[in-house]
Amino acid sequence: MTARRVAVVRRQATLGRPPGREWGNGPDHALARALEAAPGVPGLEETRHADVTAVLAGQLRASLPTLAAVFGALVGLPVLVALLGPGSVWLSLAAHPIWVALAVLHLNRAERLERCSPPR
């Protein structure tokens, strides 16, 4: 290491940026663009749409029971305690095991669903 290093950066690239950057936005933007730019194919949009609907519905079916259980417990436990009287407020500690159990159940369900989701 005798000399001091000098930083070199090229001023300008020869190529401009490709168009369509306005929304093309992630690793798969080329694919998304390609799919969008294929209008004439009859039925393509419909099948994609149906695909997305199926995937969304499947995932949502996995999530909604968990969500219902969380909000049920979140509202149900305080109401229960209010009914039982102030002495039973220690029931709130029971919430944590419930959350953990729900989280683990949801994890299992979601991963199973992903393993069996239709191959693309």
Partner 1 sequence: MSTAAWVVIALLAFLVGLAVGRGRAARPYARGERGSVYAVLRAAALAGSPLRGGLSRESARRAVRRLRPLLGARAVALTSTDVPLAWEGPCGQEVLAHVRPALASGRPHVVAGEPLAAVAVPLRVGGRVVGALAAYDAEVGTALVRSAAEAARWISTQLELAELDAARRRAAEAEMRALRAEISPHFIYNALTTIASFVRTDPARARELLLDFADFARYVLRRARDFTTLSEELTCVDRYLLLERARFGDRLRFSVQVSPEVLPVPVPFLCLQPLVENAIKHGMDGRDGGEIRVVACDAGPEAHITVEDDGAGMDPERAGRLLDGDGGGIGLANVDVRLRHIYGERYGLAVETAVGAGTRILLRIPKSAP
Partner 2 sequence: MLAAALTGIAVVLVVSVMVGTVRPRRYATVADFYVAARTVPPLRNGAAISSEFTSAAACLGLAGMIATHGPQMLWYPAGAAAGFVVLLALVVAPLRRSGAYTLPDFARWRLGSGAVRRMTTCVVLAVGVVYLVAQFHAAGLVVGLLTGLPEWAGWAAVAVPSVAVALAGGAGSVTSVQATQFWMKLAVFSGVALALWAAWHWGAVPDGPSRQAAPAPGPVRPEILAGAGDTSLPGVLAVLLACALGAMGLPHVVVRVYASPDGRGARRSLVAAQALLAVFFLLPPLYGLLGRIHVPHAHPDEVVLLLPSAMLPGPVGDLLTGLLGAGAFAAFLSTSCGTLASVAGAVSSCVTRASVESFRASVAGVAALTLAVCGATDHGGSVPLVLAAFSLSAATFCPMLVLGIWWRRLTDAGVAAGVVVGGGLTAGLVCADLVGVNLGLASACPAAFAVPPAFLAMVLMSLVTPDRVPPGVDAMMLRMHLPEDRSPR
Which residues of the chain form contacts with partner 1 (CB under 8 A)? Answer: 1-10, 12-15, 17-21, 25-30, 33-34, 36-37, 39-40, 42, 45
Please give the C-alpha separations between residue 1 and each of 7, 8, 22, in angstroms, as whole numbers.
15, 18, 45
Q: At its nearest, how many Å lie between partner 1 and the CB of residue 47?
A: 13
The vertex-21 CA angle with 20 and 24, nearest 5°, equals: 90
Q: How far is the CB of 37 from partner 1 (least distance, A)?
A: 5
Rule CB under 8 A: is residue 27 a binding residue for partner 2? yes
Q: Residue 112: name its binding partner from partner 1, partner 2, none (Cβ under 5 to 8 Å by kind).
A: none
Phi and psi at residue 50, to the nearest 5°: -65, -40
Closer to partner 1 by CB, 27 or 86: give it.
27
**Residue 62 to residue 68: CA distance in whole angstroms:** 11
Residue 90 CB coordination number (10 Å): 8
Rounded Cα distance between 8 and 11, Å, is: 9
Among 72, 80, 84, 114, binds partner 2 (CB under 8 A): 114
Q: Of 1-9, 11-19, 60-68, which segment contacts partner 2 by CB under 8 A?
A: 60-68
51 binds, among partner 1, partner 2, none (CB under 5 to 8 A by kind): partner 2
